[in-house]
Structure 1
């Protein structure tokens, strides 16, 4: 065998990039099922004669169970392999979504939306665990940015499509078709995904590349029947008593508050407060999502480039988050213009910032105790996604039938708190001691 032949046989394979694509598509479906209610809400609320308060409660229903199930979901992530858990969750939340299209009343919609939230709870902790197992630290920022961009690509491309579908058929089909797509993807995930050492096509050189770069290729080695981790209060204490972890928890709450505004009230704002029709609002609502997509892809590239250039991991991960959070304050500009075009400009700048800040899961990978990746991710997602409850309800009670301005003041204030959290609480980025 020549030296050239040896080099070829020892060159790392790139199966990990296929895993990144699997995560990306799963996130697209995940967020399509979170946003479909906001698209259907104007027509749905008219059919059921819902007040703004009732709309806020319905829009927040997902968040109640999504947040409540983060800790149990994180515990499951530490016990059940991603191949099994993700497929099961996809089927269950997709069925609940499908049945929302068959609902005939407000109560049924809330119950089913609660089910969607509960079954989606483990999704991002699973994503984080998969990324930590499959990618070295120097690639993880870009990978997390890539699959996170799925939420914005899906929303940017599918918002106009679902709005058109609602106009051509009815709002019922928005839920039915998105539910069917999720069930099909669950089967694909089950047949394709495997752990690094179990995946066909992966050579030892790729395993070594991941492991030497900080990837936890054997993170699933503790999930055998004999050694499954048991939930202990001492573990909960660890993830609740570390200042660094609280910095990212609070920061995530503030970051996702903006996201949940766009996922819940933004289409209603365009239709009811800016006078757009459903198709026009679907197109205009997609523009900020495209801006967010550019932001999240750029942030991952910038963050990993800073690591490559020798900047500290803390600077490389935190700076895009802080800059992005600060940019979301631009949404206040909507309170000072009557131009719909300028409103979209302000919203696009704000949501670009939200996307640019959306590599926060890279800090979970870098800070979480190795044994408690799932539990830390669950706590991070639990506290962060309390915003999915607070944002729809608070906005629903702040706004009136003619005035939406208080909503943007609230969002700007929350964003400033997020900046302060990352500046003063997170500190040096290093793994928390278990």
Structure 2
């Protein structure tokens, strides 16, 4: 008969082999996610010309995705905590991909806004789900690297997809662009369902002796998880959490500029052709890809060397936000090469700081990873609501200089948030709760349960 140690060793080896396949699935899902978010930016000029839309109207179209994406972050995080990822992910993939296809059939401003809202609604649970998958499958000292890999999908995917999407649009028009990108997402939903498996909780592979102790802890865990309104209060009352929320908003402000107005900036303000815009726009995305991978793996390496989270996790974000503020220098150069350089440095910095999702699993109580991830992305999503419209108004006369100043200011605010609000990087500890969710006085703090990733910190 196999011993408990042999069973656990076999389970750990199987999980170690599977987790990299899981990471590949998340990576490709992120590529498709961002393809369906940003194909509108590639098609923007053609849509504007075809439907005779103003810059302010295009700003509203760019923003519409984020209206529902932001509102649904907290409910989406709760869904992630309560529904199996294997079932939830394919459903939302099919739904947002179908909405993408429908965009290609529309000819009115209001209908396109409605479709963008639908895409945002169904994409909302995706990033909380990604973060939960990584938390379940990877140990704490591996998570920044894992987050960096899947986050890089939004950069490397778009770096290569920008020119591809531009070519597709040249061949099939902006309507064909939506048909093709939406169809890819529907196919991928089937692949995800066939290949992904939720991880087996470690408690199921543990010995009978340890099960009693684990079950006792799970009772406390379940009482905490049941108190959803109390959890929501905790999620919005912690200074540490507000520090990462504000930082996510500011990072999102830079990202959303590149995902929405950047091709228009190159084509109209800098005078590049449609095809050249696709190729030049890919360069900052490659820079961001390098930034996020460098950040993630160096950060994990520092953790393994015993460097504190204040340095290993915070330093890449602080340096990245500082570099992102260099976007302001693009206002003072004329050549395409220098503009591309400063925008690439800006997006490289954004990539460095994009491991900030690791702070959700480091700071949030264990049973609230999905909820805090939803709150985190809700605040971040508000940047996608406000920034595209703000840029539309700032650039309505064709001058993008004020818009770049706005992006630089957001980077500085995000830098201050991580310096002065986040403080020491440590998990929030909660008091014990009774059955109705009220704190029990004079009791010991509930210690977080070990995660299924094997994290024992």
Alignment correspondent of 2:13: 12
> Does the 8 Å contact 1:64/1:386 carry over to 2?
yes
For 1:361 and 1:232, how far apart are their aligned partners in 2? Answer: 22
Structure 1 residues 155 and 231, CA gap change in structure 2 (3 angstroms): farther
For 1:338 and 1:102, how far apart are their aligned partners in 2? Answer: 39
Alignment correspondent of 2:438: none
The question of 1:154 aligning with 2:157 is answered yes
> Does the 8 Å contact 2:249/2:379 carry over to 1?
yes
Alignment correspondent of 1:134: 137
Q: CA deviation at 1:314?
A: 2.5
Alignment correspondent of 2:238: 242
Q: CA deviation at 1:227?
A: 9.3
Structure 1 residues 18 and 411, CA gap change in structure 2 (3 angstroms): same
Which residue of the other structure, out of 261, 265, 280, is the alignment partner of 1:265?
Answer: 261
For 1:165 and 1:277, how far apart are their aligned partners in 2? Answer: 15
Which residue of the other structure, out of 108, 111, 135, is the alignment partner of 2:111?
Answer: 108
Which residue of the other structure, out of 88, 91, 98, is the alignment partner of 1:88?
Answer: 91
> Does the 8 Å contact 1:75/1:231 carry over to 2?
no
Unmatched segments (≥5 aa) in structure 1 = 1-5, 199-203, 209-216
Query: Number of aligned pairs?
Result: 412
For 1:227 and 1:237, how far apart are their aligned partners in 2? Answer: 16
Structure 1 residues 85 and 229, CA gap change in structure 2 (3 angstroms): farther
TM-score normalised by the chain length of structure 2:
0.86
For 2:186 and 2:270, how far apart are their aligned partners in 1? Answer: 36
Alignment correspondent of 1:354: 350
The question of 1:343 aligning with 2:346 is answered no
Instruction: Provide the secondary structure at the position in 1 that maps to 2:313.
Output: helix
For 1:69 and 1:137, how far apart are their aligned partners in 2? Answer: 27
Q: CA deviation at 1:229?
A: 5.1
Which residue of the other structure, out of 288, 293, 301, is the alignment partner of 1:297?
Answer: 293
The question of 1:53 aligning with 2:49 is answered no
Q: CA deviation at 1:301?
A: 1.0
For 1:85 and 1:403, how far apart are their aligned partners in 2? Answer: 43
For 2:226 and 2:176, how far apart are their aligned partners in 1? Answer: 42
The question of 1:24 aligning with 2:20 is answered no
> Does the 8 Å contact 2:252/2:383 carry over to 1?
yes
Which ranges of 4 or more aligned residues in structure 1 deviate by more than 6 Å?
none
Which residue of the other structure, out of 316, 319, 336, is the alignment partner of 1:320?
Answer: 316
TM-score normalised by the chain length of structure 1:
0.91
Q: Which moved more, 1:243-252 or 1:189-198?
A: 189-198
The question of 1:389 aligning with 2:385 is answered yes
For 2:163 and 2:64, how far apart are their aligned partners in 1? Answer: 24
The question of 1:379 aligning with 2:380 is answered no
Deviation track 1:364-390 (CA, whole Å, cap 9, x = no partner) reads 011111111111000000001100011
> Does the 8 Å contact 2:243/2:422 carry over to 1?
yes
Which residue of the other structure, out of 382, 399, 402, is the alignment partner of 1:403?
Answer: 399
Q: CA deviation at 1:196?
A: 1.8
Instruction: Provide the secondary structure at the position in 1 that maps to 2:13.
Output: coil
Unmatched segments (≥5 aa) in structure 2 = 1-5, 207-213, 431-457
Alignment of 1:98-247 (within 5 A): 98-197=101-200, 230=226, 232-247=228-243
> Does the 8 Å contact 2:224/2:367 carry over to 1?
no
